[in-house]
Structure 1
Amino acid sequence: MSVVTFFRKLSDTINKVCLAICVALLGAMVVITFVQIICRVFFTALSWSEELARYLLIWSSLLGAGCVYKSGSNIAVLFVQNLLPENLKKIAKILVHVLCGVFFALAIYHGIRYMGLMGTQKSAALHIPMKYMYLAVPLGCGIMEFHALDAILGEIFGKGADAQ
């Protein structure tokens, strides 16, 4: 198995896992919000539900961003790229993925630094260490970094290439 094929399969597997996690997180968020509405109307409001729903939204957004990046469904301005000849389009795509990779690397670095700075803080209602909430940034950007590397390799060697 070539390196390119390995990266492609691993990237696809990571994407499937992230999709399943996102579905579970969004489902849990809907259930928690529904229970909060019922409790607020008929009983006493839950003190923890809004905070948990917020954290589930953060995690699902950052993991979902990796799924969107992998599928190429993110917003893009392709006007200039479409004017280029085919060989320059390929270079432009690689350049875009490299620039995204640089951004993701910076976000990973600063996300880890921020986790270290604020990691001892606990959330107000759930008393969860905030480092687990801040972990969403470096983990989500790490997944996007991996997908960017897979996309670069795919552009250079071809999507299903068996190049070494």
Structure 2
Amino acid sequence: MQDRTGPLARFVTGYVWLVRTLAGVSMLLIVAIMLAQVFWRYILGGSLIWAEELCRYLLIWQTFLVLGLAFSKGEFVALEFVPSLLNPRLRWLLKAVMAVPIVVFLGLMAWYGWDFASRFDRQTIPALDFIWTALSGEALGLSIRWVYVSVTVGLALLALHVLADLAVSFRRQVVDNLEDTASDADRTSAGTT
């Protein structure tokens, strides 16, 4: 039986827990901010001018963080007609061939996303500046780059998920081949006795 508590398995478990926790916290914040906005607008007759902007930024980060998990769980749209016609070895080969342009595209998009984000170092996030100024008397000054860098982080994580899926399916293919070879050897030895 395989040991599923090795360092890589613990790392993956921690990574999945962290991403799910961040996604849950961001969704909780979005709901709380929007409920506060509704309360302020319809009960108090005012408006939280920063609420929509902050929720938008939280949703952008949440989306890019969970892309990789969605891919790993098979929640992307997939056309399985051709792969379902192939034997397992050819199916893995097709998956490997298709992974190359996908990873290259994700890498290029992550690179250009980083380049795009770096152009906004001096622009700050207005919603956070407004909130922080109201609380402390001075602007926070957090660069809007940290909103745009979500593209780079999300696409890099998605590329890692694609590569990890390829490695896991290759390992599964090798294990299945070894089991088939062992069962063939067992049948052959059973037939000769």
Q: Please give the TM-score of this superposition, normalised by the length of structure 1.
A: 0.85
The residue that corresponds to 1:57 in the other structure is: 59
Deviations 1:114-150, CA, capped at 9 Å, x for gaps: 1111232223333341111011111111211221221
Do structure 1's residue 149 and structure 2's residue 163 form an aligned pair? yes
Give the equivalent residue in structure 2 for 1:109. Answer: 111
Change (3 A) 1:150 1:88: same
1:30 is aligned to 2:44: no
8 Å CA contact 2:68–2:154 kept in 1: the answer is yes
Point out which structure has higher relative CO (alpha carbons under 8 A, 6+ apart).
1
Structure 1 residue runs of 4 or more that deviate by more than 4 Å after TM superposition: 5-9
Greater radius of gyration (CA): 2
| Cα distance change, pair 110–8 in 1 and its aligned pair in 2 (3 A) | farther
Contact map agreement 2:113 2:149 (CA 8 A) in 1 = yes
Query: Letter of the aligned partner of 1:112 in structure 2?
Result: W
Structure 1 residues 33-78: Cα deviation after superposition (integer angstroms, max 9, x where no partner): 0110010012210011000010011011111112101222211111
Alignment of 1:110-129 (within 5 A): 110-127=112-129, 128-129=142-143
Paired-residue identity, %: 24
Q: Which residue in 1 is equivalent to 2:134?
A: none
TM-score where L is the length of structure 2: 0.73
Q: Which of 69, 72, 75 is the aligned partner of 1:73?
A: 75
| Residue type of the alignment partner of 1:21 | L
CA RMSD of aligned residues (A): 2.2
Unaligned 5+ runs, structure 2: 1-5, 130-141, 176-193
